[in-house]
Structure formats: C-alpha cells, structure tokens
Amino acid sequence: MIDLAQLRREPDFVKAALARRGVPAATLDAIVELDVEHRRLLQDAETLRAQIKDLSRQVAEARRAKADDASEGLQRASRELGERERAASEATEAVAARLRAELLMIPNLPSPETPDGPDESANVEVRRWWVGMEDGAPFPTYADFQRVAHWDSARELGILDLESGAKLAGSMFPLYRGDGARLLRALSFFALDRHRDAYEEIRPPSVALTETMMSTGHLPKSADDMYEVPRDDLWLIPTAEVPLTSMRRGEILDESVLPIRLTALTACFRREAGAAGRDTRGLLRVHEFDKVELFAYCTPDQAEAAHADILARAEGLLRELGLTYRVLDLCAGDLGTSSARTIDLEVYSPGVDKWLEVSSVSWFRDFQARRANVRYRSAQGTQFVHTVNGSALAWARIWAALVETYRQADATVKLPEVLAPYFGDLTIRPRA
C-alpha cells in the first residue's frame, strides 16, 4: 500500500501522482481525515491507559497504608476509566479498520517515467524486434498458410482440443493433446533452464490464503477476477508472483543477501471477468495457463537493474524462439494496482493478425512489501524492500504464436531449433 507517512508529509505530491491514475483528490482527503481521527482516538486511549496505570499505583499505595476507603474510591474510579478506555480502544480499532480498508483500495504511485494516459490506448510503443532486423531485414511478411488461426490448424493436427476442455471444466479451459502438450512442457523447461544461472527455482502451492493474496494487491480490488475456495479461505493463484512475494512475509532480511532472485513454473487461474466476447477464441484469453515467473526482492538501488534483467531475459527468450515482438511502456491509467512502472511484451501472431501480450515486467517499489511487511536491515536502519517481477514467459499465447508463425505449406509446424533438446523431432504432424 502507499506510504501513509508520505501522504501526511506531501499530500499535494501524492494527490498529483495518483490523479494520473484517476484517483480523486477527495478520496485521499477522506483518508487523511480518517488518519487524523485515528491518531486522535489512539492518543485518547493511551491517555486513559496512563491514567488507569497511575490509579493502579495509587490503589497499591492505599492498600499498603491500609486506607480502605481511599482504596475503594480509587478502584471505582479505575473501573470507570477502564470502561472509557475499552470504548476508546474499540473506537480506535474501528477507525483503524476503516482506514486500512480505504488504503487497500488505493493504487501505487506511478513512477515519473511512466507515460500519462487514461487507458491502454495511451501506451507507448518503445521498439520492435524481428528476425534479421539487425542486418537490415524489413518487417516480416507472412505466407497465406501462416495466416491460419491456431485453433484451426491445431484442430487439424490434433494438438488442441477445446471441446473436451469445455466438457471437463467449461469454456476457456483448454486441453492440449500429444505434441501440443509436449510443446507446452518443452517451453517451460526451456525457460527454466535459461534462468538457472541467477534465479532459484521454486515450486509453490497453486492456492494461496487471503492474506497472501492481499500482500500483492490482488485483493481486495481484483476479487472478481480470482477463483475463490471459500470453505478453506483459499484462492487459486493468478500468477506465481502471489506466493513468491509472500515467501518472506513478516521477515527482516539482511541487506547482504539482496537481491534475492526466484523463479517458478505454475498454473495460473484467472476468471477474466467481463471478457465475454472479447478475444476469447482459441488461446487468446483463457482461464488457466502455464507461466514461468521471475521475481526479486531488492533494495531501492538494486530495483532498476533487477527490472532490466527480467525484461532482458523475457526478450531473450522471444528472440531465441524467433518470434516478432514489440515493447510497450504502459501509461499510468493502464498500470496494475500495485505497479509503479510496467513494460509489456507483445508477440505478433500472424494467424489472428494480432499483437498478443505475453509478459508484463513490473516494478512495485515498496508497495507490496508494506502489505507483506518484508523489510531489510542496513546501516541506515530498517526499511521495506522493493519487489520486481515479470513473466518469462506466459505460454498459452506463445504456443499460439509458434503454431501460426512456424506453420508450413503442408500444414505441419516446424518448431525453432532452440526447442530441440526439450521436444526432439521439431516437426508437428497430424496425429495418426
């Protein structure tokens, strides 16, 4: 969550920053008023507790002096103050809960580098990459046989069975078969191997407690997009970012161990509320997909390099796979709740003639760490870590782009050589 002390200290700065994200100044004024009320009530309760403590001392002295009448009078006064203190404490806790609830709904301050804009239409394209670009090759053109949507060619090859997936779990839950399933597994192993040099591999649970989901900022604001298991107070994770962020929840780390870099392959679950009829064919938008995530706890000084490393790794995978992609700098109005800065990677998929988002690389500053209470100890004292994460990569749309980009004239798919150690024969042919 945002730094309440900064809001007290620099209200105009915080209001101006959050206005870029569409947060009304009146919302922040209401939070400031709640904060003032909470501190006043807290001071009142503490004053009453001090008075009760002083009366307790006086009662003890009266008893030692065998002044029974004075002792009883002091005890009555102490009981009356005790009732007032309990009421004051309850009022303090109620206002504190309201204050926290309001703060949990406030997004992060965008970084100064983040472009202005109300929504995705204002995102800034930074660059594009395609095979041969460095040698002067023009933006690629695609043959008619590559302009076949992946759901059609995959059905012919017998590697994607959307009908069976829908029969088992409902629409937008894909079922991969044969070489389609092998391709998904090959992509995951390929990516994990590329990150072994610097990132510790983690296999986290696929479910998370409400507290864990709150730490990343997915709750309470995005509850409608999540799958809940209410009986057990659990949620299906929408990304490995959720468990990785909370691995050190409540801990104080030593500065010498930072940055801590982690990677995880998990299934990810998203309800995609409100997505009906919008890019829902094939694998363009699904409720479950596999993804390799990169994550880092770091100091503020390390954050820029950590963000750049994750972005470079995600781009490196796309280049090894030979997929055309573009880099987008997300505007303030399109940032996720917790992000201060996000760079998206989108691959071009010729069969559907669309740019498909396959990675978001985000820097959260100390926004998530405040919610998860992850700090580090340095010579300057104890302060919150910064968190950085990104997909490297999310596979459903990569799978689709590969099947379309590498489709051959005979309707087979010839995968890039880099997948040979994980896939074997790189040609996907129709199932017998």
Amino acid found at 294? L
CATH number at residue 63: 1.10.287.40
For 280-292, write each residue's pLDDT tens digit. Answer: 899 999 999 999 9
pLDDT at 179 over 90: yes
For 129-143, write each residue's pLDDT tens digit. Answer: 999 999 999 999 999
Q: Residues 138-167: what's their mean pLDDT?
A: 97
223/337 same-domain check? yes
For 302-354, write each residue's pLDDT tens digit. Answer: 999 999 999 999 999 999 999 999 999 999 999 999 999 999 999 999 999 99
Name the pLDDT band for 73 (thresholds 50, 70, 90): confident
95/235 same-domain check? no
245/323 same-domain check? yes
131/198 same-domain check? yes
Contact between residue 209 and residue 234 where contact means Cβ atoms under 8 Å apart: yes
Distance CA 277, CA 163 (A): 17
Q: Residues 143-163: what's their mean pLDDT?
A: 97
Task: Tell me, yes or no, whether 9 lies in a domain.
Answer: yes
Residue 83 class from Cβ within 10 Å (0-12 exposed, 13-18 middle, 19+ buried)? exposed
Residue 278: what pLDDT? 67
CATH number at residue 279: 3.30.930.10
46/155 same-domain check? no
Question: ∠ CA 45-46-50 to the nearest 5 degrees?
Answer: 120
Q: Sheet containing 207-209: which strands, arranged edge to edge?
A: 207-209, 234-236, 228-229
Task: Tell me, yes or no, whether 21 lies in a domain.
Answer: yes
| Residue finishing a domain among 104, 133, 152 | 104
pLDDT at 88 over 80: yes
Amino acid found at 126? V
Strand 375-378 relative to strand 124-129, pairing: unpaired
For 89-129, write each residue's pLDDT tens digit. Answer: 999 999 999 999 999 999 999 999 999 999 999 999 999 99
Residue 38: what pLDDT? 97
Tokens encoding 129: 């990459």
| Residue finishing a domain among 76, 104, 132 | 104
| Residue-wise DSSP of 142-210 | --GGGSS-HHHHHHHHT-B-HHHHHHHH-TT---B-THHHHHHHHHHHHHHHHHTTT-EEE---SEEEH
Task: Label residues 162-195 b or e (16+ Cβ within 10 Å = b).
Answer: beebeeeeeebbbbbebbbebbbebbbebbbebb
Name the pLDDT band for 60 (thresholds 50, 70, 90): confident
For residue 270, give the 3-state DSSP assignment.
coil
Q: How far is CA 91 from CA 29, 36, 81, 86, 201, in A?
A: 21, 13, 15, 9, 46
Task: Tell me, yes or no, whether 135 lies in a domain.
Answer: yes
Task: Tell me, yes or no, whether 197 lies in a domain.
Answer: yes
Task: Tell me, yes or no, whether 158 lies in a domain.
Answer: yes
Name the pLDDT band for 277 (thresholds 50, 70, 90): low
Task: Tell me, yes or no, whether 290 lies in a domain.
Answer: yes
For 206-235, write each residue's pLDDT tens digit. Answer: 999 999 999 999 999 999 999 999 999 999
For residue 14, give the 3-state DSSP assignment.
helix
Nearest by Cα to 308 from 251, 239, 362: 362
Q: How far is CA 213 from CA 100, 242, 361, in A?
A: 16, 6, 19
Nearest by Cα to 413 from 396, 424, 428, 400: 428
For 23-39, write each residue's pLDDT tens digit. Answer: 999 999 999 999 999 99
Residues 268, 403, 393, 416: is their CA dihedral positive or negative?
A: positive
Structural domain count, the chain: 2
Return phi, psi of residue 359, to 5°: -160, 140
Nearest by Cα to 351 from 154, 171, 129: 154
Specify whether the backbone of 158 is left (phi greater than 0), alpha (psi in -120 to 50) or beta: left
83/213 same-domain check? no
Q: Residues 190-204: what's their mean pLDDT?
A: 98
pLDDT at 69 over 90: no
Tokens encoding 213: 């989901």
End-to-end CA distance of the chain: 55
413/314 same-domain check? yes
Task: Tell me, yes or no, whether 113 lies in a domain.
Answer: no
Name the pLDDT band for 245 (thresholds 50, 70, 90): very high
Helix (H) or strand (E) holding 98: helix 68-104
Residue 390: what pLDDT? 98
186/308 same-domain check? yes
Contact between residue 295 and residue 240 where contact means Cβ atoms under 8 Å apart: yes
Q: Which residues contact 185 (CB under 8 A, 6 or more apart)?
A: 422
Tokens encoding 17: 């920053």
146/67 same-domain check? no
Mean pLDDT of the chain: 95
Residue 153: what pLDDT? 97
Residue 276: what pLDDT? 58
Percent helix, percent strand, percent coil in the chain, to nearest 5: 45, 20, 30
Task: Tell me, yes or no, whether 110 lies in a domain.
Answer: no
For 372-406, write each residue's pLDDT tens digit. Answer: 999 999 999 999 999 999 999 999 999 999 999 99
Contact between residue 35 and residue 4 where contact means Cβ atoms under 8 Å apart: yes
Name the pLDDT band for 84 (thresholds 50, 70, 90): very high
Name the pLDDT band for 361 (thresholds 50, 70, 90): very high
184/150 same-domain check? yes
Domain boundaries, position 284: 120-428
| Residue finishing a domain among 104, 133, 156 | 104
Distance CA 33, CA 97 (A): 14
Tokens encoding 301: 């000084």
361/272 same-domain check? yes
Q: Which residues contact 170 (CB under 8 A, 6 or more apart)?
A: 287
pLDDT at 240 over 70: yes
189/303 same-domain check? yes
Distance CA 390, CA 380 (A): 29
